[in-house]
Structure 1
Amino acid sequence: MAPLAQYLMADRNAEIALARSAAPKAISDDATVLVLGPHGYITAVKGKNGFVCLVDRGWTAQFDFPEFWNPKLRGPMCLNPQAARSILPISLKRTELALAGRSKEQILQGMKAAVAGKQLPPLEPGAMCYMLSKQGYLNDDVGHWMPHLMFYVPRDADWGADQPGSPVMLNPQFHDGPEPVKVMMVPADKWSDGTPAPAM
């Protein structure tokens, strides 16, 4: 892990704006917004529509991700109410372990213990999030990549992801972790501000 300061954003308003850029204004303007502090995420703005926007860091990725500790990663996301209740706790737990100075292997073991001890809520049907920000930075290879929606489904779900001609892609986020979740991604053709996105 790099020094903590590299993962934090000094300008709180900039982090709020980045988090909100994950979804269209009609959603993000009324969403709760979390920002990362030295001890975890805190509520910067209390919303009223049940959505939660935040900027994800690399330690919520798959455990074999080469950039797991890359402090440049910023993944703006806006979770719907179902995902805020059932997926956000996974991110919060991983963040808690990372900021406590745990190694990648210790975070993995901590998540296994949390799942085995039923410390995390079950996945709710319909859980999804928006990732439509132009300003995100998802890794050193692709930068902000492309706008997309993410749908959280049980591990045994099969949407025909990654098949020829399918618009659905499989996100590897939880493939090597204990969380019983699979993530399906569907590309979008516009950024959250309504401007066209480049074709894949």
Structure 2
Amino acid sequence: MQTAQPKTFPARTLSFAACLLIATASFTGQAQEATHMAPVDAYLMDRTAEINLARSAAPPSIAKDATVLVLTRKGYETAVKGTNGFVCYVGRGFGGAPDWPERWDPKIKAAACDNPSAAPTMTALLKLRTAMTLAGKTDAEVMDRIKTALRTREIPPLAAGAICYMMSKNAYLSAQGDHNMAHLMFYVPEKDGTTWGANLPGSPVIGGNYWYLMPGHEAEAAALPPISVFLVATSTFSDGSPVSPHAM
């Protein structure tokens, strides 16, 4: 099988809904912004279907031995215990940046697979944020709890080499465009993407802040450890099938 080559997309057409989903989405500002959470049932999936979708985030050679999480009414739980240190899951919109306009959309199903360097920090942040949101905590309460977890090292600092695979053919990352884009995300403890050449004309690298999607949160972000997310699109999905040249 040929190695997937990076695929270039105009930076202006894509923005980060980290999380990443921490998920990356194309947002034009035309989507209807939901202001509150839907009933929890709207976000839940059939358990087997969720396991299969989570595993589709990464190539089978990785996903077959990965730990798999599924969402319950109280948060994520382990459905499959893996052996290779990777953790696969299906992110929902409310598991990422609190200012993302699509955070409450039940259609968001962001299949992701964190590598062993990313999982202790990034998967842990996703699990904590998700559990607290489902428990009805406010954004302020969630962020205060995250700050405490990071300060006390209950959640460890981000390790070098942290990567998230998001190559699923069946993910739904955004209501915009084609709803999906196969890509890799790199998590780096930096404030911006200048050293990566991110968001420059012709660059295949798109960069953004992990904590907040939109401008205007500089003070809040400064109170948290710097984490940047860098995205590089791939020309194939995790099953090896080609990505449409028009897909985003």
Q: TM-score, normalised by structure 1?
A: 0.92
8 A Cα contact 1:135 1:144, kept in partner: no
CA drift of 1:193 comes to 0.8
**CA distance change for structure 1 residues 196 and 164 in 2, over 3 Å: closer, same or farther?**
same
Runs (5+) with no aligned partner, structure 2: 1-36
CA drift of 1:114 comes to 3.1
8 A Cα contact 2:162 2:186, kept in partner: yes
Runs (5+) with no aligned partner, structure 1: none
8 A Cα contact 1:136 1:143, kept in partner: no
SS in structure 1 opposite 2:196? coil
1:109 to 115, 121, 144: 144
For the pair 1:161 / 2:186, whether they are aligned, the reply is: no
CA drift of 1:142 comes to 3.3
Identity percentage of aligned residues: 48
SS in structure 2 opposite 1:82? coil
Number of aligned residues: 199
CA drift of 1:106 comes to 3.2
Using the alignment, how far apart are the partners of 1:138 and 1:152 within structure 2?
18
For the pair 1:181 / 2:227, whether they are aligned, the reply is: yes
Using the alignment, how far apart are the partners of 1:62 and 1:183 within structure 2?
12
Using the alignment, how far apart are the partners of 2:60 and 2:44 within structure 1?
24
Using the alignment, how far apart are the partners of 2:151 and 2:84 within structure 1?
32
Ranges of 4+ aligned residues in structure 1 off by more than 6 Å: none
CA drift of 1:195 comes to 0.6
Partner of 2:55: 20
For the pair 1:2 / 2:38, whether they are aligned, the reply is: yes
**CA distance change for structure 1 residues 57 and 143 in 2, over 3 Å: closer, same or farther?**
farther
8 A Cα contact 2:96 2:126, kept in partner: no
CA drift of 1:46 comes to 1.0
CA drift of 1:65 comes to 0.7
Deviations 1:91-141 (A, max 9, x none): 011011111112334323333343344432100000101000111111211
8 A Cα contact 1:89 1:121, kept in partner: no
Deviations 1:66-93 (A, max 9, x none): 1112222110001111111221111011
8 A Cα contact 2:94 2:103, kept in partner: yes
8 A Cα contact 1:21 1:134, kept in partner: yes
Using the alignment, how far apart are the partners of 1:160 and 1:63 within structure 2?
26
CA RMSD of aligned residues (A): 1.7
For the pair 1:29 / 2:46, whether they are aligned, the reply is: no
8 A Cα contact 2:172 2:179, kept in partner: yes
In structure 1, what residue type is equivalent to 2:207?
Answer: L
Q: TM-score, normalised by structure 2?
A: 0.75
8 A Cα contact 1:62 1:172, kept in partner: no
- The 5-angstrom pairing of residues 117-156 of structure 1 reads 117-156=152-191
Using the alignment, how far apart are the partners of 1:150 and 1:197 within structure 2?
17
**CA distance change for structure 1 residues 8 and 153 in 2, over 3 Å: closer, same or farther?**
same
CA drift of 1:181 comes to 1.1
Using the alignment, how far apart are the partners of 2:141 and 2:178 within structure 1?
28
Using the alignment, how far apart are the partners of 1:173 and 1:144 within structure 2?
20
SS in structure 2 opposite 1:16? helix
SS in structure 1 opposite 2:90? strand
